[in-house]
Structure 1
Amino acid sequence: MEFAPKREDILALLREEGQQISNDTAFSCTRIGEGKGFISLIYKVTVAASSYVVKITNPRAFEGLPEEVNVIDKVHDREVNFYRWASKLSGNDKKELKLPQFFGGRHCNEDQEGIFIMEDFTDRMVNDMDWLRGLRVDLVKEILRSLASYQSIYLRGDSKFPSGNKKAINHAFGFFTKLQLDAMEDKPWISEAEKRRDINVFTKKKLNFQESIRFR
């Protein structure tokens, strides 16, 4: 089941973020990212001469166990909270975080799907990438540097955002990692021994993580 972005919802969120938009402005949306394994429906939305990427998250449209549906809900809300926090940064802190621009969002609940509006990178993306093969080592290092910068900025700052409960985060860690391992099942470039090793390493780390949050 699809939940396409609703014109009135998108325009309202953009206006909340300071975008000047008239009531009669042109609006269109196109589905993108199909078959890439996203848990949200991804759209390219054009409003007048500007374009955005919009994620629509509806956990109730996801076929899974209740705890898995709850994870999707929490992951979306956490992402919205994070970008709201990051959008208020300034100076060197803002420069350090390499993030797409945030143009508004709302949480999931029983009455409405979640929405996340961000900068449109579709004209600068690689379309023929093997998403399951992974990234180059230098790109992984750059991602780790960015994560370290974010953690440093967050820990030394006064402004915080709701991070969700640890049980949901723990379940999300296991849920999405298992999806990645399952996706590698038929890939010729990873051997059976490597698959077993990765599963063993994942299981040990997950157990250690569970123990670490149990005693906090």
Structure 2
Amino acid sequence: MLFRQLFDPESSTYTYLIADTDTKEAILVDPVLEQVERDRKLLQELGLTLRYCLETHIHADHITGTDKLRAATGCLGVVPEHAHASCADLYIQDGEILQVGEVIVKAIATPGHTDSHNAYLVNHDRVLTGDALFIRGCGRTDFQSGDAGILYDSVTQRLFTLPYDTLVYPGHDYRGHTVSTIWEEKHWNPRFVGRTRDNFIEFMANLNLPDPKKMMEAVPANEMCGSLTVLT
């Protein structure tokens, strides 16, 4: 398996390139519009055919590169089941598998940050957690039908129950971290360690964070898989 972690500095977003080294088929997870040319160049250099652009959720802090990549490569746009995205080619539900060659990507429903959010378990040894779980943090729950109690349940019941040595690759990082493990986050993530569900809900309700700078343009664009026609 080929696995690459790519970074967009403006939104602090991680995009993940996953591919089977024999069939040369690839998946891009959470592509960013401004990085489409970077991603296309890397695919070309590695001799890969992009089959899927896979989203963890409808993002509020950046516009996805799915629409542009789909037009350029003929790949399919895939979003979580019940996501507000009428443009998608496929909707992936909890437990469903997306496969390229021998690489298996299993969806794990992890709502709470938004009302429709998936993490993706890749070949049983690493999990792409999107905005449900960060390294020593988690995504906010104060817009897009977020729910702190549901996020607490998603993380503690769906992610923290994975094998301890499962590698954790988040959707964002703001402090220079790249990878963690389920064991580390279960024992050292300050959002969850020592907190009951009620404590977590209270804590999240008092974060008082500003809205993402691009939210007003990103959400409607991402509901159309990154098509900029909705903004004109």
The structure with the greater share of residues assigned to strand is 2
**Above 0.5 in TM-score?**
no
The structure with the greater share of residues assigned to helix is 1
